[in-house]
Amino acid sequence: MVSDLDKVFNRQISAQKKSAIREVLKLTQRPEIISFAGGLPSPESFPVEHLRKIVCEIFDSEDASLALQYGTTEGDQRLRELLVERYRKQGLDIGTGNLIITTASQQALDLLPKIFIDPGDKIICGLPSYLGGISAFGFYGAQMEGVKLDKYGMRSDLLEDKLKKMKAFGEKPKFIYTIPDFQNPAGITMPESRRQEIIDIAHKHDVLIVEDSPYRELRFEGSAQKMIYAMDNTGHVISLGTFSKILAPGFRIGWVIAHEKIIDKLVTAKQTADLCTSPFVQKIAARYLETGIFDNHLEKIKNLYREKRDIMLTALKEYMPDGVSWTEPDGGLFLFLTLPDYMDAGELFMQAIEEKVAFVLGSVFHCDGSGRNTMRLNFSFASKDMNVEGIKRLANAIRKNIK
């Protein structure tokens, strides 16, 4: 080992911290701890037998050699066609030239700053926002400007004020990052009226919007809101999707939908990262969509998660002390819990571990370090009984700190 290894690492990796969520997950591997920390789909949701059959069919077909060979950087043509077909039904005016397959949506979040961000460039994100996005943007030197959320998502009035102030200083953000459906971590959904306000502001200030939509198809109740991309259709919006939450996270398949000029740059950036996403798993995913099994299985997942969400919400109402509040999502995997102002979730965390329950600190989702009295809870992974028991344990830890 060289003696000055720390000096050999570049500034970006030296400054980067490990994912707070991944580090928490290590701590919660002890079997006695009920973890609400990860964003993990339930293993019950994985269509193991269907996928087993499809894998055998692929190996028995002429696609076998193609599945085991290198693929194109843009992605499997059939998979892209099927995804485009699904999105066109949702009102997106796109073709396969507008879609690139990525190694899950986290790679997309890494590729976007790779093509857009120079150190010191600014972007706008919600307070709170997905930690994986914040980390990826920060790694490339982006400075993040936070805009608070209300029950309808990113506040358009504060966004307008932020952009006006930036313009007065001769600044312009590279993009606005938003998660409109069942937002991670808050669990809230942006209504179409607010989406239109965000679009109008982006047009006025000539700024791109990145619409991160990994949970969109996990709606348990209420009406689906139009995608921001569909409401815009002018090239101002970049949309991200993934199979991680609706098929299997182990597949590591995601995608980006954008103007062809942006897709072209993403192809170049991806070629330096992995050349191509696994052709094998892309063939499986394409065949899975073709069979028609996907939509039926998706309904089963939604029913499962609806029940788990309802169980957690009922437990929160029954066991949480006064002064604690939480969001009630219409879908997705998470809800966001807010403690009294005087409490610090960071100080509470080890007490919760002693009670054998874990959560993720809400502050890690705030680019400005705020949100110290908040936490994110995942309801999809733990069993129904463990959801109730975990909330009991968490309530006990919180109650000990109530004034």
Whether pLDDT at 14 is above 90:
no
Q: Which domain holds residue 150?
A: 70-293
Q: Looking at the domain assignment, is residue 122 inside a domain?
A: yes
* Whole-number pLDDT of residue 22: 59
Answer yes or no: is 61 within a domain: no
CATH number at residue 351: 3.90.1150.10
Q: Percentage of the chain with pLDDT > 70?
A: 96
Q: For the chain, what percent of residues have pLDDT higher than 90? A: 90
Looking at the domain assignment, is residue 139 inside a domain? yes
Compute the average pLDDT of residues 75-96.
97
Q: Say how far residue 19 (Cα) sits from the centre of its chain.
A: 14
Contacts of 274 (CB under 8 A, 6+ apart): 103, 107
Judgement on whether residues 85 and 37 belong to the same structural domain of the protein: no
Could you tell me if 133 and 263 lie in one domain? yes
For CA atoms 104, 110, 114, 117, the dihedral sign is positive
Do 12 and 96 lie in a common domain?
A: no
What is the distance between the alpha carbons of residues 245 and 9, in angstroms, rounded to a whole number? 34
Residue 204 lies in a domain: yes
Same-domain status, 257 and 280? yes
3-state SS assignment for residue 146? strand
Closest CA to 131 of 257, 20, 16, 285: 20
Please, which residues have CB within 8 angstroms of residue 186's CB and are 6 or more apart in sequence?
Answer: 126, 128, 149, 327, 334, 336
Q: What digits encode the pLDDT tens for the residues 194-251?
A: 999 999 999 999 999 999 999 999 999 999 999 999 999 899 999 999 999 999 999 9
Look at residues 293, 308, 339 and tell me which one is the last residue of a structural domain: 293
Element (H, E) at 241: strand 237-242
114 and 257: one domain? yes
127-141 confidence digits (pLDDT tens): 999 999 999 999 999
Residues 313 and 270 in one domain: no
Question: Is the same domain home to 13 and 108?
Answer: no
pLDDT at 28: 58
Q: What is the pLDDT of residues 149-196, one digit of tens each?
A: 999 999 999 999 999 999 999 999 999 999 999 999 999 999 999 999
Grade residue 9 by pLDDT with cuts at 50, 70 and 90: confident
pLDDT score at 39: 87
Residue 254 lies in a domain: yes
What does the alpha-carbon distance between residue 279 and residue 356 come to, in Å, rounded to a whole number? Answer: 41
Could you tell me whether strands 122-127 and 175-178 are parallel, antiparallel, or unpaired per DSSP bridges? parallel
State pTM to two decimals. Answer: 0.95
Both tokens assigned to 179: 């998660």
Q: Do 25 and 129 fall into the same domain?
A: no
Task: Quickly tell me which residue has 């976007």 as its tokens.
Answer: 112
- Helix 192-205 crosses helix 156-168 at what angle (to 10 degrees)? 10
Any domain includes 324: yes
Residue among 208, 9, 204, 183 at smallest CA distance from 121: 208
Between CA 208 and CA 186 the distance in angstroms is 23
| Domain closes at, from 293, 328, 345 | 293
Eight-state DSSP code of residue 237: E
Model confidence at 20: pLDDT above 60 = no
Domain's final residue, options 293, 308, 340: 293
Where does 28-178 have alpha helices with state H? 48-59, 64-67, 77-88, 104-116, 131-139, 156-168
Q: Is residue 133 part of a domain?
A: yes
Q: Are residues 252 and 332 located together in one domain of the fold?
A: no
| Residues 175, 40 share a domain | no
| Residue 54 belongs to some domain of the structure | no
Structural domain count, the chain: 2
The 10 Å Cβ neighbour count of residue 189 is 26
Residues 30 and 124 in one domain: no
302 pLDDT above the threshold of 80: yes
Using one digit for the tens of pLDDT, what is the confidence trace for 315-372?
A: 999 999 999 999 999 999 999 999 999 999 999 999 999 999 999 999 999 999 999 9
Whether residues 108 and 205 fall in one domain? yes
Residue 62: pLDDT band (50, 70, 90) is confident
For the chain, give the mean pLDDT. 94
The confidence score (pLDDT) of residue 387 equals 97
Q: Return the CATH number at 281.
A: 3.40.640.10
